Amino acid sequence: MSAMSDLRSATWTQHQLLEKRLDIKSRFTELGAYRAHLEKMWGFCAPLEQWLGRCFHGGALPDYDRRRKVPLLTRDLIALGAKSGSVPSLPCCRTQPDGDDPAAAFGCCYVLEGATLGGRTLLPLVQSRMGLSAERGAAFLASYGEDVAVMWRGFGEALEAWCHVPDRRMRARQAAVDTFASLDRWLCGKSS
CATH of the structural domain 3-187, one choice from 1.20.910.10, 3.30.200.20, 2.40.50.140, 3.60.15.10:
1.20.910.10
pTM, to two decimals:
0.93
**Burial class (CB within 10 angstroms; exposed 0-12, middle 13-18, buried 19+) of 20:** exposed
Measured CA to CA, the distance from residue 183 to residue 55 in angstroms comes to 19
- Single-letter amino acid, residue 151: M
Q: What backbone torsions phi and psi does residue 133 show, to the nearest 5 degrees? A: -150, 175
pLDDT at 1: 84
pLDDT tens sequence for the chain (192 residues): 899 999 999 999 999 999 898 888 777 888 999 999 999 999 999 999 999 999 997 789 999 999 999 999 999 999 999 998 999 999 999 887 777 899 999 999 999 999 998 888 899 999 999 999 999 999 999 999 999 999 999 999 999 999 999 999 999 999 999 999 999 999 997 544
Closest C-alpha among 53, 80, 57 to residue 140: 80
CA distances 179 to 85, 97, 189, Å, are 28, 9, 16
pLDDT at 97: 74
